[in-house]
Amino acid sequence: MSNLLSIDSVSKNFGDYKALNNVSVDIPEGSIFGLLGPNGAGKTTLIRIINQISIPDIGKVMFNGEPLSSKHIRNIGYLPEERGLYKSMKVGEQALYLAQLKGMSRVDAKKQLKYWFDKFEIGEWWDKKIIELSKGMAQKVQFIVTVLHKPSLLIFDEPFSGFDPINANIIKDEILQLREEGSTVIFSTHRMESVEELCDHIALIHKSNKVLDGNLNDIKRQYKTNTFEVGLVCKEQDVLKQLISSKFNSVDASFRSLGKELKLNISLEPKQTSNELLSFLSSNAEVNHFMEVVPSANDIFIQTINNQK
């Protein structure tokens, strides 16, 4: 897979403050790339560099094999965390204006806007002013003007802010569809459940440094501990716990279930296998829950940040 965007050894200072320190990141073409990190980590600075709002002090950025330049602006759609719609302008008038700034003709812009307004069932908003819309309604308009010109790179900074669960799900599906149609997406958020649902690759920035990046599934494999969550039905739970602990490393667990089974987390030694564990449990109890504990994006985020302290 080729990279649409390559960030090579980028550093950025603001006076004595180092916002980015020798950061290198590759964004694979056709992927949804999660740009993660605590507040103040340097994510926004990196996004501003990609959008050419600011320039790096050191390093380079390549867009589709070429040095990033002003000609690439029209190939980028950016939805900032702090929305930038003009509150006193009418929705339709503003959407047309912003589309033309991205190089669309008025005719093509009107055609695409009708498609998106019909899709989101917001045609009656055309003559409303932004100030008349709720935050979530304004978010829909901002999303539309971000994707309208069909850029090859989309940057979404907290795209679900202000949305209820139903509309957040609509936007999530649209992002996935845009990826299927060939767009590359940089996705910055604090909502780790959204990272799980959307992202193919991630990079984690902490205190101006990149501390982790790669394919999300590969990273999860690196962080897993060969631990299994089990729920067991038996008459004498204490006896069964002692029997299990004589052969495996086990601790009490807590997870949601409908019954009152014995709940344990069991960690395997390198020579032990999941088949061996399951066979042992099945011969001593009724197994109604058996699942490998795979670290979530949230688990990985917290563990990695804590390891940097």
pLDDT at 102 over 80: yes
153 and 270 part of one domain: no
pLDDT digits (tens, 9 = 90+) for 210-266: 999 999 999 999 999 999 999 999 989 999 999 999 999 999 998 887 778 899 999
User: Which residue is listed with tokens 């029997």?
Assistant: 243
pTM of the model: 0.88
DSSP characters over 106-126 = HHHHHHHHHHHHHHTT-GGGT
Closest of 197, 192, 206 to residue 172, by C-alpha: 197
Sheet with strand 201-206: strands edge to edge: 76-79, 153-157, 184-188, 32-36, 201-206, 209-215
Residue with tokens 């900074």: 157
pLDDT at 82: 74
> Confidence band (pLDDT; 50, 70, 90) for 309?
low
Are both 174 and 235 inside the same structural domain? Answer: no
Domain check: are 132 and 274 in the same one?
no
Among 53, 67, 52, smallest CA distance to 8 is for 67
In CATH, what number is assigned to the domain containing residue 130?
3.40.50.300
Domain edge (last residue) among 221, 252, 275? 221
Same domain for 67 and 172: yes
What is the domain count for the chain?
Answer: 2
**Reported confidence tier of residue 190, pLDDT bands at 50, 70, 90:** confident
**39-46: average pLDDT:** 92
Among 38, 7, 33, 18, smallest CA distance to 203 is for 33
Mean pLDDT, the chain, as a whole number?
Answer: 92
| Residue 47 pLDDT level (bands cut at 50, 70, 90) | very high
Residue 94 CB contacts under 8 Å (≥ 6 apart), including other chains? 85, 86, 130, 141, 145
Does some domain include residue 309?
no
Q: Residues of 11-21 as b/e, b for ≥16 C-beta within 10 angstroms?
A: ebeeeeebbbb
**56 and 202 in one domain?**
yes
Within this chain, do residues 260 and 242 fall inside the same structural domain, yes or no?
A: yes
- Alpha-helical regions (H) of 120-215: 135-147, 165-180, 192-198
**pLDDT higher for 136 or 14?**
14
35 and 134 assigned to the same domain: yes
Mean pLDDT of the 95-114 span: 93
Residue 176 to residue 19: CA distance in whole angstroms: 31
Question: Residue 271 to residues 116, 230, 281: CA-CA distances in angstroms?
Answer: 56, 20, 17
pLDDT on residue 129: 92
